[in-house]
Structure formats: structure tokens, C-alpha cells
Structure 1
Amino acid sequence: MSWWREGSLRELTVGNEVISMRYRIDKSDPHSWTLVIKNVTEQDSGIYICQINLAKLREKFFYLTVVSKFHI
């Protein structure tokens, strides 16, 4: 199982290993591997892909929109 960001040539995670300390995998639910992004910014908005490579490659796409707080 790995997480990718669309347009990136490197994985964000591979199995339990993370490529950057900003990312981690939450496995509190045994049936779910959730990508957690630390210190998220608007630049993190985009499409994220979860890939599972068993007998056949399966992909699920997620769109993340980050909105900053409005300051007066």
C-alpha cells in the first residue's frame, strides 16, 4: 500500500514507511490506512492517490481542498 500525490514522482508513504515527517499513516481502524498530513497548508490542496498492489493494482483517488482562515 502506498500514498502518492498526483504530479509527484515520489511516494508519500510506502507501507508503514513515510518519506517526509509531514506525513504519517493512521491505522487506528484495522480496515483503513489513513494518510495524515501535519502542518497542512493551501499548497497541500490537490489529488492524492492510495494504491494497493495485490494480485491486481487498485487505486483510489481523493481530492483535498485546504482553505485558510480569513483574517480581518
Structure 2
Amino acid sequence: MTNESRELPNGQNVVSVAPIKVFDESMYPRFAEPIPNVTVTVGKDALLACVVDNLRGFKVAWVRMDTQTILSIHHNIITQNPRISLSYNDHRSWYLHIKNVEEVDRGWYMCQVNTDPMRFRKGYLQVV
């Protein structure tokens, strides 16, 4: 709590009390490692990995950055692209699978956590 005091014209003091927001970094999710850039040959499958510690009740989403397309939110696939799938384990590792990679899949992919402010990591998919 913080106290702020000011004097009124009649000489009386008024004290206001405001709560202090305590930010404890250990209470929030953190990325355990960067998302590695991946190079895949056309027609092969790609796997992007996102590892998050201390996720608790927050949710992970995968986003295609150049088109701002939401691919997945937590356990749910959002995109209509049938080549995209998701797997995860231990509420810590989140994997974006892209089957039969095409040249149009090349670009940045973001793994984000719905904290405030949002936390994210990104990895690049190179298609050759």
C-alpha cells in the first residue's frame, strides 16, 4: 500500500491509500528455451516446438505471424488447414505439426501465452 497525503485549504490533511501491484515473476509462465528455426523440404513434415514452464492456468496459442492467422489455442485447432495439427505433453511442451509442407508455409510462427502483457517466442520455418 502507498500513502499519499495532501493538505486541504482549511489546513486539514487528507490521506489516501492505494494498493501496490506486486509483480512476482516466479508466478508467471516463462519460456524454457527459444523456438528453433526449422528447415524442411517441400512435401516433408515440419515440427515446431514451444516449451513453457509454470503455465498453470494460462493458455498457449500458435499464430502464423505474417498473416496473423490463429492456428491453435491451447488444446484446440482453430485453423481450417487440415495439414496443421497439435500435440503436447506434461502441460509444458507444445508442438505445432505441419504435414506435407508447401512453399506457402515458409515464414515466422509465434507461440504465445495469454498473460498480460502477452508473452511470446517465434521461430522461422524455411522451406526448400
- TM-score of the aligned structures, taking structure 2 as reference length: 0.47
CA–CA separation in structure 2 for the residues paired with 1:35 and 1:49: 10
Secondary structure in 1 matching 2:123: strand
Select 1:6's aligned residue among 38, 41, 65.
65
Cα pair 2:103 2:127 within 8 Å, conserved? yes
Residue 17 (str. 1) matches residue 87 (str. 2): no
Select 1:46's aligned residue among 107, 112, 120.
107
Q: Which runs of 5+ in 2 are unaligned?
A: 1-59
CA–CA separation in structure 1 for the residues paired with 2:75 and 2:85: 8
Secondary structure in 2 matching 1:65: strand
**Percent identity at matched positions?**
35
Residue 36 (str. 1) matches residue 94 (str. 2): no
Runs of 4+ in 1 over 6 A off after TM superposition: none
Return the letter of the residue paired with 1:15. Answer: H
CA–CA separation in structure 1 for the residues paired with 2:119 and 2:63: 13
> Alignment RMSD, CA only?
1.5
CA–CA separation in structure 2 for the residues paired with 1:7 and 1:23: 16
CA–CA separation in structure 1 for the residues paired with 2:116 and 2:104: 34
Q: Which runs of 5+ in 1 are unaligned?
A: 68-72
Q: Give the drift of 1:9.
A: 3.3
Q: Which has the larger radius of gyration?
A: 2
CA–CA separation in structure 2 for the residues paired with 1:8 and 1:64: 14
